[in-house]
């Protein structure tokens, strides 16, 4: 059952998350010409994220960063693992995808900055991670931050990883996906998507928002298909949620083009900061549960 019983820890973390750090990660990540899953740039972007998270984790012996290799393309996924203290067999996953796409073409020199789709999700997660590390937070459960390869090719990276975890009987008790967090296309701040997700966990996510982000307005919607990596986990029977930037068809119109830039997300990361805070609350509340 989902209980909210870590107010002291979460309320000490939330004010430390900063919009400027999210901006920096989006700008840095969207400066690769492309992050297409089959190009050299696409592989370089994965290696860049691995290095970034490794640097952040230095000094923490309970944190490891690995690259998950996939078959048929060189871009890896990146997995950061914070080992749980006394309930490490139970695993929480927070994910976003590190690849990008331009529907007009994806050659080595093609342009797909993917600032919103999905550098924003990576940036939101990275800022939550930074504060969790900075405050010396140690979860009882294991927490994994995952940058997925090849989401745009059909959820390929997350499909491999979810299958691998299922085959190894990893006890994943919750998954949150952040895919597009920085374009405020609708009246509400956070939209919880109700298809290909877990309704009980969705209720918990709404409760987290009401408890820790009371000024924010929460809406609900459906994609109508497996619209991001949460669907790979859902398909394997793991509980997943997708807090998303806008209502259906009110999302960022620039995605999958050369114009999915930080500027076209409004030159701000205040919207993405909401999702970073939600991710931090989710990670700490679920990560702090004992056996």
Residue of this chain nearest to ligand IPO (CB atom): 227
Burial of residue 168 (number of CB atoms within 10 Å: 0-12, 13-18, 19+): exposed
Helices (H), the chain: 7-13, 19-29, 40-57, 120-134, 156-167, 199-212, 230-235, 270-287
151 is catalytic: yes
d(Cα 118, Cα 255) in Å, to the nearest integer? 9
Give the β-pairing of 190-193 and 141-148. Answer: unpaired
Distance of CA 274 to the CA centre of its chain: 13
Q: Of the two residues 146 and 227, which places its CB atom closer to ligand IPO in the complex?
A: 227
Using CB under 6 A, pick the residue from 179, 189, 285, 289 that binds ligand IPO. 179
x/- letters, 133..152, toward ligand IPO (CB under 6 A): ------------------xx
Instruction: Please tell me the number of Cα atoms within 13 Å of 147 on its side-chain side.
Output: 36
Touching ligand IPO, residues 248-277 (CB under 6 A) = 248, 251, 255
**Nearest CB to ligand IPO, comparing residues 166 and 222:** 222
Three-class secondary structure of residue 189 per DSSP? coil
Minimum CB distance to Zn ion, residue 102 (Å): 10
CA neighbor of 158 nearest in space, from 126, 109, 118 = 118
Applying CB under 6 A, which of residues 22, 56, 223, 279 lies at the interface with ligand IPO? 223
Q: Name which of residues 160 to 219 contact Zn ion (CB under 5 A).
A: 179
Least CB distance to ligand IPO at residue 218 (A): 15
Residues 72-111 that bind ligand IPO (CB under 6 A): none
CB of 110 within 8 A of CB of 1?
no
Give residues 224-243 in contact with ligand IPO (rule: CB under 6 A): 227-228
CA gap 289, 209 in Å, rounded: 19
The binding track of 117-136 with respect to ligand IPO, each residue x by CB under 6 A or -, is xx------------------
Q: Which residues bind ligand IPO (CB under 6 A)?
A: 117-118, 151-152, 179, 223, 227-228, 244, 248, 251, 255
Q: Which residues bind Zn ion (CB under 5 A)?
A: 117-118, 179
């Amino acid at each position: 059952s989902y209980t909210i019983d870590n107010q002291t820890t979460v309320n000490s973390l939330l004010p430390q998350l900063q919009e400027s750090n999210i901006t920096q990660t989006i700008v840095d990540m969207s400066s690769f010409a492309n992050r297409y899953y089959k190009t050299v740039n696409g592989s370089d972007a994965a290696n860049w994220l691995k290095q970034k998270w490794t640097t952040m984790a230095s000094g923490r012996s309970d944190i490891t960063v690995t690259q998950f290799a996939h078959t048929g393309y060189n871009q890896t996924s990146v997995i950061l693992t914070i080992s749980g203290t006394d309930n490490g067999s139970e695993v929480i996953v927070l994910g976003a995808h590190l690849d990008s796409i331009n529907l007009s073409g994806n050659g080595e020199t093609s342009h797909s900055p993917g600032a919103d789709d999905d550098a924003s999700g990576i940036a939101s997660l990275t800022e939550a991670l930074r504060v969790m590390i900075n405050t010396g937070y140690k979860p009882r459960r294991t927490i994994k931050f995952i940058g997925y390869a090849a989401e745009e090719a059909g959820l390929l990276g997350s499909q491999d990883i979810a299958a691998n975890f299922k085959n190894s009987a990893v006890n994943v008790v919750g998954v949150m996906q952040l895919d597009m967090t920085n374009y405020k296309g609708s009246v509400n701040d956070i939209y919880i998507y109700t298809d290909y997700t877990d309704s009980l966990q969705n209720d918990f996510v709404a409760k987290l928002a009401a408890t820790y982000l009371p000024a924010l307005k929460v809406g609900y919607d459906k994609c109508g298909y497996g619209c991001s990596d949460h669907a790979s986990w859902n398909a394997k029977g793991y509980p997943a949620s997708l807090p998303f930037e806008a209502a259906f068809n009110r999302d960022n119109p620039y995605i999958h083009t050369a114009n999915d830039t930080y500027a076209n997300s409004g030159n701000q990361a205040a919207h993405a900061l909401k999702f970073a805070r939600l991710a931090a609350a989710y990670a700490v509340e679920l990560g702090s549960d004992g056996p």
